[in-house]
A and B are shown apart, each in its own frame.
Chain A
Amino acid sequence: MTTTDLDAGTPARTSAPRGTGTRATRVLGIATVVAMAWLVAFGLGFSPADRDQEESVRILYVHVPTIWIAYLAFVVTAISSGCYLFGRKKSLGFDRVAGASAEIGVVFMAVTLIVGALWGRLTWGVFWQWDARLTTTALLFVTYIGYLAVRRLGGSHHQRAKRSAVLGLLAVLEIPLVHWSVRLWRSLHQEATVLRTDGDISMDGLMLFSLFVGVIAFTLLYVWLLLHRSRTMFLEDLIEDRGLDQALAARRAEAEEVRP
């Protein structure tokens, strides 16, 4: 940090506020919006209704990509946590990527659970089924909410990074155990189900393409969000670091103003 910044009081006011964007993210953002528009056009318009699920299959074009992104986000969190923990540099950048990714994952998973319930109401006749995939997802959702809570516990950035990295890796240990136990539970207690179609359908070309558009669109969105969110986290850390310094400087400046 340079002293001139502090003396200036409000350092970067002079330059235009540019936020966390760059030309690259702007291009990425536009591509995302275009892909989303395509997704709506194909998902709600061009793609045909399914033989079994009829129109409700259209929900899958957003539902499948969101859950895919949620799981991708958590995988990225785990890898990034590992990179922080086992890397020689202990780079906080990895920690921020892990945190940002987990946050995005939680948002997408919340959407997935709600949209999944809507789809279930149409296809199964009930909002919720105690199916292995669903139950695992719900438990995972809570687990990562816990992860985000731990990130906010406080302490230095490296303390936070270490703690959450360990937790991010432990969550990966948890996933197979939870999934296995729930699978075993359901297979032993098969209940009569309403209108069983299993969610597995044979998709024709156009339907597959719509799904493909959805996956692309949401993956672009994920990358865009990840870039912005991890940069915002960088700013948060930086401002927290110099928060005290800046508060002192501001007080000093106030005192100067009072005394001409």
Chain B
Amino acid sequence: MSAAIVGAIVEMDDAGFIIGSYVLTFATVGLFAWRTLRRGRRLAEQVPDEEKYWL
């Protein structure tokens, strides 16, 4: 199984690498952004608005 994956990576053609790197970049950064937003939403509920300096 893992050998097949490694083999697929080694044999992957240029397009795979290129699109893969775009997908990887956006997925990682997107995940980080989403988690930050969600955590912010959850925590913001517990704090009254007048304490939020950005509002």
A and B touch in the complex (CB under 8 A): yes
User: Taking beta carbons and an 8 Å cutoff, which residues of A are in contact with B?
Assistant: 5, 10-13, 15, 17-22, 36, 40, 43-44, 54-56, 58-59, 62-63, 66, 104, 107-108, 110-111, 114-115, 118-119, 121-122, 221, 224-225, 227-229, 231-232, 234-236, 238-239, 246
Interface SS, A side: helix
A239 touches B47 (CB 8 A): yes
Closest to A116 in B: B21
Nearest A residue to B44 by beta-carbon distance?
A19
From B29, B40, B47, B53, give the contact of A108 (CB < 8 A): B29
The answer to whether A115 and B55 touch (CB under 8 A), given A19-B41, A235-B47, is no
Name the residue in A5, A59, A63, A225 with the highest tally of chain B Cβ atoms < 10 Å from its Cβ: A59
Nearest B residue to A17, CB-CB: B45
* A54 to B15 Cα, complex, angstroms: 11
Of A10, A104, A234, most B-chain CB atoms within 10 Å: A234
Query: A111 and B28: CB pair below 8 A?
Result: yes
User: Across the interface, which residues of B come within 8 angstroms of A232, CB to CB?
Assistant: 36, 39-40, 43
Q: How many residues of B contact A (CB 8 A)?
A: 32
> Shortest distance in angstroms between B2's beta carbon and chain A's nearest beta carbon?
17
Check B21 against A119 for contact (C-beta < 8 Å): yes
13 intermolecular pairs with C-beta atoms under 8 Å apart: A12-B44, A12-B49, A44-B19, A54-B14, A56-B17, A107-B28, A118-B17, A118-B20, A119-B17, A232-B36, A235-B46, A235-B47, A235-B52
